[in-house]
A and B are shown apart, each in its own frame.
Chain A
Amino acid sequence: MRKNKKSNNSSKYFLNPNYEFYNELKNLILKLSSSERNSIIASINHLGRVRLAIASGVLLNDPSPSETADLFIVGDDIDRRRLSRFLKSLEASVGVEVKFVLMDKEEFRYRYGMFDRFIRLLFDGPHEKLINKLGI
């Protein structure tokens, strides 16, 4: 994917760490606005029969590395092509790789019922329910 062998004499770009408003700008830029959040939710709903979508890690306003998944979706009949396009566009706008996990409703029910480690870590840590049609 990231093959850049021919870039031996091209310019490299980076942030000027001495920029006067560096930290202020960083805080503002890394925040996901409510309209972005809403369009992410709309796109997720468009992927198929989505019952649950949880944001964590890099997708939260106070981003932190996630042990489990940055985006967790429970749903059936998910359109794979639409999903990969959505993830690509999500990563492009968040600026970092998004760890993604998808489960169908059956598997989620089973894991949720048996206090699965992944589910427990996700629900115990900082997270935000973007879509919740399961009433949990």
Chain B
Amino acid sequence: MYILIVTDSFTVSKNSVEQLFGSRLRVKILRLLFRNEIDFFDLDQLSERVQESKDAVKKELAELMAMGLVRSKKHF
């Protein structure tokens, strides 16, 4: 279940940190990861926690991985 909140005044606000990092979603993903440094998240969990679609999260992850900031591994 994914709930997208786009009309909330709080969600659409601009701020310089988001601008610096390119997107609000990127900041949200990084906040989640830095706040929970010892945890691993799969795409479903990330998408639920940041309240954004899996496709959007996947796209950001690809860029963060290309930058060398995020890594992934197959979980068995």
Contacts and interface: CB of A to CB of B under 8 A. Distances in A.
A11 B34 contact: no
A30 B35 contact: yes
A96 B13 CA distance: 20
Contacts of B40: 12-14
* Contact size range, A: 35 or more
Contacts of B72: 11-14
Interface stretch (A87-95, A108-116, A123-131): A87-95
B9 to A, nearest CB: 6
A14 B70 contact: yes
Contacts of A85: 5, 8
Given A30-B34, A35-B13, A92-B49, A16 B70 contact: yes
A71 to B, nearest CB: 13
A109 to B, nearest CB: 29
Interface in B7-48: 8-11, 13-17, 21, 24, 27-28, 30-37, 39-46, 48
Interface stretch (A40-48, A73-81, A99-107): A40-48
A25 interface: yes
A9 B76 contact: yes
Given A16-B68, A95-B31, A9 B9 contact: no
* Contact size range, B: 35 or more
Interface string A20-42: 00000110111101111011101
B13 A26 contact: no
A10 to B, nearest CB: 4
Among all A-B residue pairs, the 6 with the closest Cβ atoms: A95-B31, A95-B32, A12-B40, A35-B15, A39-B13, A92-B51
Given A13-B70, A94-B31, 11 more contacts: A9-B75, A12-B72, A12-B73, A13-B41, A13-B42, A14-B41, A30-B35, A33-B17, A42-B10, A88-B51, A96-B36
21 contacts: A7-B44, A7-B45, A12-B72, A12-B74, A12-B75, A13-B43, A13-B70, A13-B72, A14-B40, A14-B71, A19-B69, A29-B17, A30-B35, A35-B13, A36-B15, A42-B9, A43-B8, A86-B10, A89-B11, A91-B49, A96-B36
